[in-house]
Structure 1
Amino acid sequence: MLFKLQTPAESPLDFEVSVEQGSWMGALVCLGSLLANVFFGYLLDIVGRKACIYCLAIPHICFWCLVYFAQSIEYLYAARFCGGMTGGGNYVVIPIFIGEVVDPAIRGRLTSLFTLTLNSGMLVGYTMSSNLPYHLIPLLVISLPVLFLLIETFFPETPTYLLQRAQVEKAEKAFKFYQGHTAESKQDIDKCNAKFSELRDAMSQKSQADVVTWRDFFSKRAIRALSMGSMLILINVFTGSFAILNYTSSIFGAVKTDIHPNTNTTIIGLVQIIGTITAIILVDRYGRKMLLMLSTASMGICLAAFGMYAFFAEETSVDLTPYRSWLPLLLMALIVLAANVGVIPVTFVVLVEILPPKIRSKGASFCLCLLSLFTFILIKVFPPFMQAFGLSASMWACASFAALGLFYIAIFLPETKGKSMSKEES
């Protein structure tokens, strides 16, 4: 859609969007996300996970209203900021909610499914923006957050939060709801009760009056977990997938490909979904560490190869005409595929699993603040860096971060597959 808004002949608006304004539209998403990371991280332990999920719909509804009624660039700035708040809140609330309600055996798949829904939404957005009138899209899509609010009323609060509030009876009912407990045999009932007792005993080790303090963040386990989380976020951002997805058209333009922006963005959207589905299938079978290592290694190779192609396209007179119609798209698709197999979805699975329960919500909020901050830096720095040093140097820089990530994950990151989150503190 940004490409269309920056093309006067195709823009449906009464005002022009410059390149600088377009970059701020991208960056303001990160600032909205940063605010939401802090806000929802604070709110999670006060009003609960379910109430926070309700709140996510509010800025999303505002986003589509502002898009529809846009009379100036400021409307779009505000809309993108609201959209960033919804996205940032999602990344804080949803992984924690999923982590607290599902069985460890399928936790990785369901947390990765969260990323699949995001990527599916992006593909729908690419398709709608390419084929539907600008003002029709908000009218259609605004029904989704309203429907979301209605459906969410049928889901109870997480058992973990209810136990934190000493609401044992409600917690037991919620636990059985999320476990899908309908069996009537004594063996199945005893098994479900034993699982709930294990969770309750783990939670009862903490006093309900026990308040999270700064000291809790400086325990040996907390420092180790926050360091790992921060490093995973650094790898997640600076391997370049966010920049590639935001500046797809500019990157293709730099290597002088003839592919239309609408075509390549739709293809990249499909590749994202394929990668995330692959992660969902593999994450609980082969583990988090293996997927992250495979992802960073593949990204590093493909980024380096794309950088080499860009070098020949920008700095030499080599005739690349036979390759321009397919090789840049293939390399970019492989980069996005590799990122969505591991680095993008699995990072958030591991993040929830390594944080101690007592600081999980605030620790996740801290790491996601870093995600928003690093993404803001990347999105603002990538265009001038590419202009000053070339696309090849930009790709090689991202490849270097992928190599660093591979080394760190292989040496320092533990495997968390199948571990009970109620036992993490021990």
Structure 2
Amino acid sequence: MMFNLCKSSEGVFSSAYRMQLFAAVSVTIITFCNGIAIGWFAPMLAKLQSPTNSPVDFVATVEQGSWIGSLLCVGGLMGNLLFGVLMDAIGRKACIYLLAVPHILSWILIYVAPSIEYLYAARFASGMTGGGNWVVVPIFIGEIADPIIRGRLTSLFTLTLNGGMLVGYIFSSYVPYHIIPMAVILLPVLYLVIALYFPETPSYLLRCEKEEEAEKSLKFYLNNKTSTKLELEQFNIKYAELKSAVKQQRAESDAVTLRDFFTKRSLRAFCIANAVVFINISTGSFALLNYMSTIFVAVKTEIHPDTNTVMIGGVQILGAYIAMIVVDRFGRKVLLLVSTASTGIFLAAFGTYAFLVEETNVDLTAYSSWLPLVLMALIILTANVGLIPVAAVIIVEILPTKIRAKGVSFCVALMSIFAFTMLKLFPPCMEAFGLATTIWACAAFAALGLIYIAIFVPETKGKSMDEDVDK
């Protein structure tokens, strides 16, 4: 019944894109799983540090808690590099399977954890899946998706990640510690079973000279039954275009060399991609999510930390959903500009509120129960509408095809380093300079990022994955 309705629908639910949508939703199950693992940490950390409420046989110190949090980024860096190499060596689909392995291991370690070292290892393993996610999933979706819907399908990555984080927040807040691993470990198993159904990407198969398999794969993702002569002709045209593009890439060189990373186009693409990633991290949304409770205590809000966290998780999903709807309608650059400007404004406003709390005697009693939460929600919402999801889309679309797998891996590895640095610097900056100054610094990065995006970032909406992206 639903598929019949889809035949007459427009856009991403059109029957022509059915298998692309199915594959994108299937592969982002592991992203949803990773989101649960990320969300699990925020409410659980306070419990692990409580001598009376710790759900395990040990109590984590503040220093140990910071390492539990930051080791996610170290594992992410390892995942970025490892899967960046494996993407071209063993293929996209094999990497999709491998993403589930460290994730499953992380929940096993959390369940049995007799000491803090097990949680260190669990967070590192979870980070490996997260780092691999940022490399494998956007490239896989980018190579199977039609340019018309590619932005929306790639934005599923952020939507499912945020959805998983919300589930993680809720589970960690209200479900017993040892029940959580037993419940969520079933999802990656389901993911592995569903992944058996869809084939390797046509582009990768053509690079491996598997033309018959590539043709079948393209038919699958185009949902092409070639039941009429017109459909057969349309398919042959698309297949010939893809084959020609891959052949041209292989004619240049069968192997990626160091020189390929230092061409004018590659260097420009790397600069833009990494600048967008830096703007994403430096504006602070990732750090705010990790230190949310500390921040709300600093501004003396009356909202319970668990309730606050769950509400912000819901805002994340709303932002990612809006981004998925509008990314192919208004374009990548417009979303980046609007998102960066809005995030900067609300960061400045939140910093001003924090300044009034920290440095003045202004009576804010009438606003303390709602205004900090509203401002924080607006920061997270506007960041998720553009800065966060579009970064993944831009990286995949702007890098030259020949170096895309390794290039994406490099960019995401830098993102892990940026994130690790941000998580380590944020608390000391809050202590040394105050919350207001720290938040204002993030707003300043947003202002600088806005100028950079307006001048240097090109629009990649509707561009073929195999053509140059000019200014």
> Matched residues in 1 for 2:188 and 2:352: separation?
44
Identity %: 62
Specify the alignment match of 1:407 in structure 2.
451
Distance 1:74 1:27 in 2: 14
2:28 matched residue in structure 1: none
- Superposition pairs for residues 384-403 of structure 1, below 5 Å? 384-403=428-447
Of 350, 355, 358 in structure 2, the residue corresponding to residue 306 of structure 1 is: 350
Note the 1:253-292 alignment, pairs <5 A.
Answer: 253-292=297-336
Q: Secondary structure at the match of 1:104?
A: coil
CA 1:263–1:425: 2 relative to 1, 3 Å: closer
Q: State the distance in 2 between where 1:420 and 1:177 align.
A: 19
2:220 maps to what in 1?
177
Paired residue for 2:27? none
Q: Please say if 1:326 is aligned against 2:370.
A: yes
Given the alignment, which residue of 195, 208, 211 partners 1:152? 195
Corresponding residue for 1:250? 294
1:48 to 83, 91, 110: 91
8 Å CA contact 2:158, 2:320 repeated in 1: yes
Q: Tell me which amino acid in the other structure corresponds to 1:168.
A: E
Distance across 2 between alignment mates of 1:282 and 1:254 = 35
Matched, 1:296 2:335: no
Determine whether 1:18 maps to 2:92: no
Identify the residue that residue 4 of structure 1 maps to in structure 2. Answer: 47
Letter in 2 for 1:224: R
Quote the Cα distance in structure 2 between the aligned partners of 1:207 and 1:323: 62
- For the residues of structure 2 that align with 1:8 and 1:180, how far apart are their CA atoms? 57
Aligned: 1:121 with 2:164? yes
What's the TM-score once normalised by structure 2's chain length?
0.89
| Letter paired with 2:334 | M
Q: Judge conservation of contact 2:458–2:469 (CA < 8 Å) in 1.
A: no
Matches of 1:425 and 1:372 in 2, distance apart?
A: 26
Q: How big is the shift at 1:303?
A: 0.2
5+ residue gaps, structure 2, are 1-43
**1:135 is the counterpart of 2:189:** no
Tell me how far apart the structure 1 counterparts of residues 393 and 136 of structure 2 sit (CA, whole Å): 13
Deviates more, 1:108-117 or 1:8-17: 8-17
Question: Structure 1 residue 146: deviation in Å?
Answer: 1.1
How far apart are the structure 2 equivalents of 1:358 and 1:334?
39
C-alpha contact (below 8 Å) 1:100/1:160 kept by paired residues: yes
Distance in 1 (CA, whole Å) between partners of 2:190 and 2:231 is 35
* Contact in 1 for aligned 2:429/2:438 (Cα 8 Å): yes
How far did 1:93 drift? 0.3
- Give per-residue Cα distances to partners, 1:159-205, cap 9 Å, x unaligned: 11101101111011101111111352221221122111101001101
What 5-or-longer segments of structure 1 have no aligned partner?
none
TM, length-normalised to structure 1: 0.98
2:466 counterpart SS class: helix
For residue 214 of structure 1, what is the aligned residue in structure 2?
258
2:6 is matched with none
Letter in 1 for 2:215: E
Q: Does 1:60 align with 2:97?
A: no
Matching residue's letter, 1:196: Y
Conserved 8 A contact 1:357-1:424: no
3-state SS of the aligned residue for 1:105?
Answer: coil
Match of 2:406 among 355, 362, 367: 362
Provide Cα deviations, 1:9-49, integer angstroms capped at 9, x if missing partner: 32211111122111111110000000110100011000000
Opposite residue 43 of structure 1, the aligned amino acid is L
CA distance in 2, matches of 1:398, 1:268: 19
Partner SS, residue 427 of structure 2: helix
Q: Name the CA distance, whole Å, in 1 between partners of 2:67 and 2:234.
A: 54
Q: How does 1:97-108 map to 2 (within 5 A)?
A: 97-108=140-151
Number of the residue aligned with 1:335: 379
**Retained in 1: the 8 A contact 2:226–2:235?**
no
- Cα distance in 1 for partners of 2:320, 2:258 equals 36
What do residues 92-126 of structure 1 show as CA deviations (whole Å, max 9, x unaligned)?
00000000001000000000011111111001111
Aligned residue type for 1:249: S
SS in structure 1 at match of 2:418: helix
The aligned amino acid for 2:242 is L
Aligned-residue offset at 1:425: 7.7
Corresponding position of 1:344: 388
Report the CA distance between 1:379 and its aligned residue: 0.3
Distance in 2 (CA, whole Å) between partners of 1:183 and 1:161 is 23
Question: How far is 1:400 from its partner?
Answer: 0.7
1:38 aligns with 2:84: no
* Structure 1 residue aligned with 2:3: none
Aligned mates of 2:314, 2:236 — CA distance in 1: 43
* Correspondence list, 1:78-93, <5 A: 78-93=121-136
**Paired residue for 1:165?**
208
- Secondary structure in 2 matching 1:205: helix
Residues 261-298 of structure 1, C-alpha deviations (whole Å, 9 max, x = no match): 11011000000000000000100000000000000000
Distance in 2 separating the partners of 1:199 and 1:408: 34
Quote the residue 2:229 is aligned against: 186
- Give distance in 1, aligned partners of 2:59 and 2:436: 31
Q: Which aligned runs of 4 or more in structure 1 are off by greater than 6 angstroms?
A: none
